[in-house]
Structure 1
Amino acid sequence: MAAVEQAPQPAHELVYEPDQLPKLRSNYGDYLDSASVGWMKETPINTSLDEMRRRFDEDGYIFVKGVMPREVVLDMREAYFEHLAPTGILKPGTSPREGIFDTTADPVAHNGVGGRDLPEDLERQRKLTSAHSLPFYLAFLEHPKLRTFVQEFMGWKKDVLVKRTLLRHNVPNGYSTGIHYDRIFLRAGEADFLTAWVPIGDCTASGGGLMYLENSTTIGQAMETDFTRRAATFSKQERISGFNQNMARDGQLSHNASELHRELANGKWDNAPVIPQRRWLVGDYQAGDVVFHNPYMLHGAVKNDDPEARIRLSTDLRFYELGAPLDERWMQSVWHPEDGL
């Protein structure tokens, strides 16, 4: 009788020696120590919806494997880097589908995180902006596997994807997205929303993907309560801004994951529960995977230290239920550098 193949034990359930954990850092500060790093729980796509919802409510996220067809995602990656190839971002002799960075180029000149950290070259800015309106990307956003999953997982008859999506790349040693929770930037709508972070291509744990602060939903809620209290005398426009005087210059909570981790463990935020053992959780993302998280979970991008110089490409999507009071500012247009959001 043939032996029954055993499924591998999930990464988050294994016990790792410190040197077996990925080395992670953010834009500034030291590498995170091994005690503050862990693996995200992986959720197979065939997991029951009830179990998925339980994990989401308990953890603040679900890391779902194989939501979208792998080849569809890789086709999207190829199309994006064909679009950006004239900027000199790719290593000569490599294919756009691989998305390998030309390490002889200046990483800062090829920033792709958007907002206040764009490359100075106007043609590169135009390439980043126009990618959000190209047919290959708009079709990708409407893929039935993704949209059907969102509706079924949330129990909605119909979902609404906000028009302002964030298509971003992260080159090795370049500037990455700081630590934040999403409600900071979508305060004008009363309804909660679902964020989908979609890696467009394979991305190792140290390759520039997202890291999530374990059990941090209550921290985000406490921070938002504190920011709201301190904004009581602001005008409405100031209160809903992610860049008001209560916030950092770019709306982020920090660009130093190690420092923020220490501050939270020492109880800097009075309303947030102090849990010293809380870790930054990461995953080895593969094309087709999607991470869904709630509006208050703290997260940010890892500095891209991919040994093969792969560029991390991803998109951030926010979904509401049709008819819910959403943040209308995010429905006005696709992302552009001057939109103020």
Structure 2
Amino acid sequence: MTAVIQPTPLPAHELYIEPKQLPKLRSNYGEYIDSKTVGWMRPTPANTPLEEIRKRFEKDGYVFMKGVIPREDVLDMREHYFSHMAETGILKPGTSPREGIFNPENDPIAHSGVGGTDLPEDQKKVEKLTSAHTTQIYLAFLEHPQLRGFIREFMGWKKDVMVQRTMLRHNVPNGLSTGIHYDRIFLRAGEAEFLTAWVPIGDCSATGGGLMYLENSTDLGKQMEAEFMTAAKDMTPEERIDGFNKNMARDGQLSHNADELGRTLGKGRRWLVGNYEAGDVVFHNPYLIHGACKNEDEQGRIRLSTDLRFYEEGAPLDKRWMVFWKPNDGL
């Protein structure tokens, strides 16, 4: 009997097939981005060999990890957050906090949760946004063993340190979203490099307000930061590390118009986006240029996410960030 030769199975990280239809993206201001300059991020399954994950991170400046955290654990966190925020009227009547559907009768700007200076005028809503950062359930979520264990293994660290100032943010349909920037702008005080983890808390379609990354922009971000530092050479040390110093935009962002920035600065680079699912995490370096898409989710879902920054234990970190976030903290 002739032996049947079985084909060698493809590694998990080679099984992904990109959706054919590209999303129609825009940012806070400006036109929709030309579809020729939009592309898909490359997803990486959690069981991909570490050496391949590190190779992708080094090459692309990011790695879009699938299923790092158990899905139900993430959805539990989503339910907790919107239960916490429910009395502000943010949710559509008859829907559950776990779904996180925006009440279309509300003014999107009045329910902004993107942080910084873009906060609602209602102080009760601001208090809810602030206290959401220190609930026991949220703090426990940040210590999730599968997230923190992956980071240590990926980075080769014996122990990691997460800065206390996290950015737990919601982005309602047609509301304000995060502008375009690279993270080093806001964490200039520490000498050590850090790792950012962007954690979508719930499913987020490509047009649902998730992050978009300017392709291969790490070197561009490093060049811009070097130019900012040169321009700030006569400033005091405190002014030099300020993400809002006189050389920066009012809110520290590079732009709120992704279409324009891509055409003038991108020089052929595409804006990359993903269809994010609960449990996914995107890790990126401090210089990769990125921002949030306008949330135009067809189901009316509110994008909820948290931004986390990690250093290796003992590294000279930005000590300004070792406090919980609060409005107008100057960071």
User: What's the counterpart of residue 329 of structure 1?
Assistant: 320
For the Cα contact (< 8 Å) 1:83–1:131, is it kept in 2?
yes
For the Cα contact (< 8 Å) 1:187–1:241, is it kept in 2?
yes
Overall identity of the aligned pairs, in %:
70
User: What's the counterpart of residue 237 of structure 2?
Assistant: 236
Cα distance in 2 for partners of 1:83, 1:317 equals 21
Q: Secondary structure at the match of 2:32?
A: coil
For residue 116 of structure 1, what is the amino acid of its counterpart? T
**Pairing 1:39–2:43 present:** no
Give the deviation of 1:21 after TM superposition.
1.0
Q: Which runs of 5+ in 2 are unaligned?
A: none
Q: How does 1:257-336 map to 2 (within 5 A)?
A: 257-265=258-266, 276-331=267-322, 333-336=323-326
Give the deviation of 1:9 after TM superposition.
5.1
Cα distance in 2 for partners of 1:151, 1:185 equals 23
- State the TM-score, normalized to the length of structure 1: 0.93
Aligned residues, how many?
324
Cα distance in 2 for partners of 1:299, 1:239 equals 22
- Measured against aligned partners, the alpha-carbon deviations of 1:183-202 in whole angstroms (never above 9, x if no partner) come to 00000000000000000000
Give the deviation of 1:11 after TM superposition.
4.2
User: What's the counterpart of residue 10 of structure 1?
Assistant: 16
Cα distance in 2 for partners of 1:184, 1:249 equals 13
For the Cα contact (< 8 Å) 2:117–2:328, is it kept in 1?
no
Give the deviation of 1:338 after TM superposition.
2.4
User: What's the counterpart of residue 195 of structure 1?
Assistant: 196
Give the deviation of 1:112 after TM superposition.
0.4
Q: Which runs of 5+ in 1 are unaligned?
A: 266-275
User: What's the counterpart of residue 204 of structure 1?
Assistant: 205
For residue 286 of structure 2, what is the amino acid of its counterpart? P
Cα distance in 2 for partners of 1:31, 1:156 equals 41
- Measured against aligned partners, the alpha-carbon deviations of 1:137-196 in whole angstroms (never above 9, x if no partner) come to 000000000000000000000000000000000000000000000000000000000000
Q: Secondary structure at the match of 1:71?
A: helix
User: What's the counterpart of residue 225 of structure 1?
Assistant: 226
For the Cα contact (< 8 Å) 1:42–1:63, is it kept in 2?
yes
- State the TM-score, normalized to the length of structure 2: 0.95
- Measured against aligned partners, the alpha-carbon deviations of 1:278-317 in whole angstroms (never above 9, x if no partner) come to 1000000000000000000000000000000000000000
Cα distance in 2 for partners of 1:291, 1:114 equals 20
- Measured against aligned partners, the alpha-carbon deviations of 1:61-87 in whole angstroms (never above 9, x if no partner) come to 000000000000000000000000000
For residue 243 of structure 1, what is the amino acid of its counterpart? F
Cα distance in 2 for partners of 1:304, 1:103 equals 13
Q: Secondary structure at the match of 1:156?
A: coil
- Measured against aligned partners, the alpha-carbon deviations of 1:51-106 in whole angstroms (never above 9, x if no partner) come to 00000000000000000000000000000000000000000000000000001100
Q: How does 1:71-150 map to 2 (within 5 A)?
A: 71-150=72-151
Give the deviation of 1:277 after TM superposition.
2.5
Q: Secondary structure at the match of 1:325?
A: coil
Cα distance in 1 for partners of 2:249, 2:32 equals 22
Cα distance in 1 for partners of 2:244, 2:75 equals 35
Q: Secondary structure at the match of 1:94?
A: coil
Give the deviation of 1:264 after TM superposition.
1.0
Cα distance in 2 for partners of 1:139, 1:116 equals 27
For the Cα contact (< 8 Å) 1:168–1:314, is it kept in 2?
yes
Cα distance in 2 for partners of 1:90, 1:98 equals 9
User: What's the counterpart of residue 182 of structure 2?
Assistant: 181
What stretches of structure 1 move > 6 A for 4+ residues in a row? 3-8
Q: Secondary structure at the match of 1:180?
A: coil
For residue 116 of structure 2, what is the amino acid of its counterpart? G
Indicate the RMSD between aligned Cα atoms, in angstroms: 1.6
Give the deviation of 1:339 after TM superposition.
1.2
For the Cα contact (< 8 Å) 1:166–1:315, is it kept in 2?
yes
User: What's the counterpart of residue 268 of structure 1?
Assistant: none
Cα distance in 1 for partners of 2:104, 2:144 equals 33
Give the deviation of 1:229 after TM superposition.
0.4
